Amino acid sequence: KNQVEQSPQSLIILEGKNCTLQCNYTVSPFSNLRWYKQDTGRGPVSLTIMTFSENTKSNGRYTATLDADTKQSSLHITASQLSDSASYICVVSAGGGTYKYIFGTGTRLKVLA
């Protein structure tokens, strides 16, 4: 069964600190993996998209990694800001022209001043 699991479920950090969010998946075939940021009351916003051949991609203070062998991804946030408080959702696309997007349940991050 295609699944995407994220950890931790929630996280609280102090402003300026770094953090890493984890995503494990069992999706086959694999097309790409995305990380989204979802602010409360808003739709998800894409942060990064990685294909099978990419193992790291950055977007400002956000750096995503992908290990396609172990089917794991991480999202590292550097020097966190209050505006980073949001849910971060990992999404894996099952390829082969299926257009199936399997969403994780997200990690809820709270950054405190």
Interface residues with other proteins (CB under 8 A) are 4, 31-32, 41-46, 49, 51, 89, 91, 93, 95, 97-101, 103-106
Dist CA 25 CA 2 (whole Å): 8
Complex with other proteins: residue 14 or 97, whichever CB lies closer: 97
Dist CA 97 CA 104 (whole Å): 21
Complex with other proteins: residue 28 or 46, whichever CB lies closer: 46
CB of 63 to other proteins, least distance (A): 18
* Spatial CA neighbour of 84 closest among 48, 36, 39: 39
CB of 82 to other proteins, least distance (A): 21
The answer to whether the beta carbons of residues 67 and 77 sit under 8 Å apart is no
